[in-house]
A and B are shown apart, each in its own frame.
Chain A
Amino acid sequence: MAGPTYRFAVDRGTFREIEHTADLGLDLTGPTPAAVLEAVQRGLVRALFGEDPTAVPDEERSVALSERDLPELLKAWCEAIYRLLEEERFVALETRVDSDRPDDFRARVRGTVLPPEEVARASELKAVTWHQLQFAAAADGGWEARVIFDV
Chain B
Amino acid sequence: MGQIQIEKVRPNVWEIPREGPMRVPGRVYASDEMMAEIRRDESLAQVRNVACLPGIVGASLAMPDIHWGYGFPIGGVAATEAEGGAISPGGVGYDINCGVRLARSDIEADALGPARLRSLVDALFEAVPSGVGSEGSIRKLSRADQERMLVEGARWAVEEGFGTPGDLDHTEENGRIAGADPDAVSDRAKGRGLSQVGTLGSGNHFLEIQRVSRVLDPALANAFGLFAGQVVVMIHSGSRGFGYQICDDYIKRIKPRLADYGYDLPDVQLAAAPLDSDEGRDYLGAMRCAANYAWCNRQVMLHKTREAFQRVLGIGPGELRMDLVYDVCHNIAKIETHRVDGVDRKVCVHRKGATRAFPPGHPDVPAAYRSSGQPVLVPGSMGSRSYVCAGIPGAMVETFGSTCHGAGRRLSRTAARKEARGRDLLGEMEARGVIVRATGMRTVAEEMPFAYKDVADVTRVMEEAGVSRRVVELAPMGVVKG
Contact = CB atoms under 8 A, between A and B. Distances in A.
B7 interface: no
Contacts of A129: 70-71, 94, 269
A127 B131 contact: no
Interface string B212-227: 0000000000000000
Contact of B412 (A19, A48, A126): A19
Given A121-B440, A124-B202, A151-B413, A85 B132 contact: yes
Nearest to B202: A124
Contacts of A121: 131-132, 439-442
B67 A120 contact: no
Nearest to B445: A50
Interface stretch (B144-152, B153-161, B244-252, B378-386): B244-252
Given A126-B244, A129-B269, A130-B255, A120 B134 contact: yes
A120 B131 contact: yes
B414 A119 contact: no
A62 interface: no
A116 interface: yes
Interface in A1-46: 17-24
A150 interface: yes
Interface string B45-80: 000000000000000000000011111001000000
A86 interface: yes
B418 to A, nearest CB: 10
A120 B414 CA distance: 20
A52 to B, nearest CB: 14
A119 B267 CA distance: 33
A145 interface: no
Contact of A124 (B93, B132, B255, B414): B132
B466 interface: no
B440 A130 contact: no
Contact of B133 (A17, A120, A128): A120
A127 B415 contact: no
Contacts of B268: 130-131, 133
B412 A20 contact: yes
Contact of A22 (B67, B251, B417, B443): B67
Interface of A: 17-24, 48-50, 85-86, 89, 116-117, 119-133, 148, 150-151
Given A21-B43, A120-B439, 8 more contacts: A17-B414, A22-B70, A120-B440, A126-B95, A127-B248, A130-B90, A130-B268, A150-B244
